[in-house]
Amino acid sequence: MRGLQTSLSANAARTSAFSLTELVIVVVIIGIVAAIAVPRLSSGARGADESALIGSLSAMRRAIDIYSAEHQGEFPGRKGDGGSGAANTAAAFISQMTKYSKVDGHVASARDAEHPFGPYLRSVPPLPVCANKGSMTVLIDVTNSPPLVVPGTQGWVYNPRTGEIIGNCDDANGDGSRAYDEY
């Protein structure tokens, strides 16, 4: 009887392990699943970046429109920032969008009787796509309508004469149907 138990234990030990063929089949199946899933995951990330760009542009365009409505049709950046008189500058645009302002565009850090408007944005959102991804800087283009993409590190391109703003990126979107600067 003892010999039979030993023989059964040896067979049980041999049959509980995986054969090399079974392991190869499992690895091949995992490779096929990965080949299908990885491209879908990466296109999902591109879609998320594209959605973030659309959301950021929508928020900034809405803020620019509200600023214009409250400042007698003027767009941010057209008049001076903080009393410096500097017009058509990125600093003027950013301060007028993120601080309190008077009708004439001059800004203050706190709301008071003279500065009842704004702020329109907490901060300039980072560009969510392309080589300039993460940049919160603004490049001013007073010549072109709509503004043109300019190679460099700036995140956004803004025209203070027209109130138009675009992402500083002319790469094609995830499905190749249009460039990001056309949003």
Q: Is this prediction's pTM over 0.85?
A: no
Rounded Cα–Cα distance for residues 58 and 162 (Å): 16
Average pLDDT of the segment spanning 111-117: 94
Three-state DSSP at 94 gives: helix
Q: If you count DSSP H runs as helices and E runs as strands, how many of each does the chain have, helices first?
A: 3, 5
Q: Which residues pair with 108 in a beta bridge?
A: 100
**Confidence class for position 82, pLDDT limits 50, 70, 90:** very low
29-73 pLDDT, tens digit per residue, is 888 887 776 766 655 566 788 889 999 999 999 999 999 999 999
